[in-house]
């Protein structure tokens, strides 16, 4: 069935197809688009002509005519190479695909400047909706997008000043559970290692940690001595943990507030002579089971789907209510959190 190709110049248009099939432009259009009121024979003739010509509807023209400005949803995340974000992207894509929409992705690397540029670019390219893991320092452009009628959905981090829907995790409760778990194992000096202090996720997790600590009767100031913040990559977290471990009164347990920080902590444990503290991390990760690391887990793929669903709803002209959908988190106990103070949980 080798269809001989036409001499590859300009792509065939509907007019060409109509001509070849011996019908009018409109009939060809009807046939191609599967509209009713076309005789079966005609439809087949058109289909044949189209396939002979390697015809492909020009979606630009089609969409222009229909007044649709695009079929794309934009996703602006921190860093695609981070499994958390890429899982999110996967969830978004899966949901959109089922609706015939496509996903355009981009990474800000947590730079507000890049976020601004990316959002502007996406707006210029007329994405139908925007799903963002925002640095929150670029809300003007997001406001601008919203003003232009492009729905904005926040994921992972709730909207700051904008009135927009968001999908977030139960950060505070997760952190509280993690910390409580460590306290229950008999620890008092529980440290906290966290991401950028400006992030709401961070702040909520810190709050949850402090809440648990306070409830256990640990003085706030005392707890804060064991808090390290603004660690955005594994290398930085590693340094901070080494620092904590070399304290005169080092923590006997650690709550690490995201996947990269947890990995940095594990690297630090390996590099340190000291007994590894007990550990619970926020975010599950590959090999956490092998390493016996207890974590606060959740479902980033689902989170992406939920965000996509909100974006799709928003497409149907519903005004944003500024709701935050809070997804549950769960503790998985693997041993690292149950260790008694001073006892190494690694084999």
**Contact footprint for a copy of itself (CB under 8 A):** 5, 8, 11, 54, 56-61, 63-64, 68-72, 79-81, 83, 85-87, 89-90, 93-94, 97, 100, 102-107, 118, 121-126, 147-149, 234, 263, 266-267, 269-270, 285-287, 289-291, 301, 346-347
141 binds DNA, rule: CB under 7 A: no
Least distance in Å: CB of 56 to DNA? 7
Q: Angle, to 10 degrees, between the axis of helix 25-32 and the axis of helix 14-21?
A: 100
Residue 80 binding: pick among a copy of itself, DNA, none (C-beta 5-8 Å cut-off by kind) = a copy of itself
Counting runs of H as helices and runs of E as strands, what totals does the chain give?
Answer: 14, 12
Q: Does 220 sit near DNA (CB under 7 A)?
A: no
Token output for 227: 């808090």
Q: How many residues does the chain have?
A: 347
Tokens of 145: 């997008």
Query: Site size for DNA, by CB under 7 A?
Result: 28
24 contact, one of a copy of itself, DNA, none, CB 5-8 Å limit per kind: DNA
> Which DSSP string do the residues of 38-88 spell out, in sequence order?
--HHHHHHHHHHHHHHT----HHHHHHHHT---SEEEEEES-TTSHHHHHH
Q: Which of 64, 225, 340, 343 binds DNA (CB under 7 A)?
A: 64
The burial class, CB within 10 Å (0-12 / 13-18 / 19+), for 275 is middle
> Which residue lies nearer to DNA by CB, 45 or 334?
45
72 or 196: whose CB is closer to DNA? 72
Q: Strand pairing partners for 75?
A: 105, 131
Query: Alpha-carbon dihedral of residues 114, 117, 121, 124, nearest 10 degrees?
Result: 160
Out of 6, 19, 57, 267, point to the residue binding DNA (CB under 7 A). Answer: 57
Residue 23 binds: one of DNA, a copy of itself, none (C-beta under 5 to 8 A by kind): DNA
Q: Does 212 bind DNA (CB under 7 A)?
A: no
User: What is the rounded distance in angstroms from the CA atom of residue 225 to the CA atom of residue 82?
Assistant: 29
Site for DNA in 66-85 (CB under 7 A): 66-67
Residue 99 touches which member of DNA, a copy of itself, none, C-beta under 5-8 Å by kind: none
Do 265 and 281 meet the contact criterion of CB atoms below 8 Å apart?
yes
Q: Is 36 in the site for DNA (CB under 7 A)?
A: yes
CB of 54 to DNA, least distance (A): 12
User: Choosing among a copy of itself, DNA, none, which partner's interface includes residue 29 (Cβ < 5 to 8 Å by kind)?
Assistant: DNA
Minimum CB separation from a copy of itself for residue 235, in Å? 11
If the CB atoms of residues 37 and 347 are measured against DNA, the closer one turns out to be 37
147 binds, among DNA, a copy of itself, none (CB under 5 to 8 A by kind): a copy of itself
Bridge-based pairing of strands 190-193 and 152-155 is unpaired
Tell me if 247 contacts DNA by CB under 7 A: no
Question: What would the 3-class secondary structure string for 78-132 be?
Answer: CCCCCHHHHHHHHHHHHHHHCCCCEEEEEECCCCHHHHHHHHHHHHHCCCCEEEE
Tokens standing for residue 26: 């409109």
Determine if 37 is a binding residue for DNA (CB under 7 A): yes
Q: What distance separates the 2 farthest-apart alpha carbons in the chain?
A: 89
The answer to whether 44 contacts DNA (rule: CB under 7 A) is: no
The residues of the shown chain that bind DNA, judged by CB under 7 A, are 10-11, 13-15, 23-27, 29-30, 32-33, 36-39, 41-42, 57-58, 61-62, 64-67
């Amino acid at each position: 069935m080798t269809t001989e190709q036409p001499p590859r110049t300009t792509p065939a248009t509907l007019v060409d197809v109509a001509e070849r099939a011996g019908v009018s432009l409109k009939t060809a259009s009807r046939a191609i688009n599967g509209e009713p009121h076309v005789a079966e024979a005609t439809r087949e003739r058109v289909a044949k002509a189209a396939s002979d010509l390697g015809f492909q509807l020009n979606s630009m023209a089609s969409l222009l005519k229909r007044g649709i400005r695009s079929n794309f949803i934009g996703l602006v995340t921190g860093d695609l190479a981070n499994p958390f974000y890429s899982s999110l992207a996967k969830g978004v894509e899966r949901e959109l695909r089922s609706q015939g929409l496509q996903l355009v992705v981009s990474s800000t690397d947590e730079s507000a400047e890049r976020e601004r540029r990316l959002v502007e670019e996406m707006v210029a390219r007329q994405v139908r909706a925007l799903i963002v893991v925002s640095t929150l320092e670029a809300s003007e452009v997001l406001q601008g997008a919203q003003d232009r009628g492009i729905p904005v959905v926040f994921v992972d981090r709730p909207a700051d000043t904008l009135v927009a829907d968001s999908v977030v995790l139960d950060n505070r409760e997760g952190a509280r559970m993690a910390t409580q778990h460590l306290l229950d194992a008999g620890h008092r000096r529980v440290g906290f290692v966290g991401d950028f202090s400006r992030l709401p996720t961070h702040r909520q997790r810190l709050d949850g940690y402090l809440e648990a600590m306070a409830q256990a009767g640990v003085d706030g100031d005392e707890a804060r001595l064991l808090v390290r913040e603004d660690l955005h990559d594994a290398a930085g977290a590693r340094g901070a943990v080494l620092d904590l471990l070399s304290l005169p009164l080092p923590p006997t347990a650690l709550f690490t507030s995201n996947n990269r920080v947890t990995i940095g902590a594990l690297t630090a444990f390996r590099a340190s002579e000291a007994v590894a503290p007990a550990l619970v991390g926020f975010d599950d990760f590959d090999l956490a089971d092998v390493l016996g690391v207890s974590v606060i887990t959740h479902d980033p793929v689902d989170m992406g789907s939920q965000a996509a669903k909100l974006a799709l709803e928003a497409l149907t002209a519903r005004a944003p209510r500024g709701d935050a959908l809070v997804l549950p988190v769960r503790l998985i106990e693997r041993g690292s959190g149950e260790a008694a103070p001073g006892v190494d949980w690694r084999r």
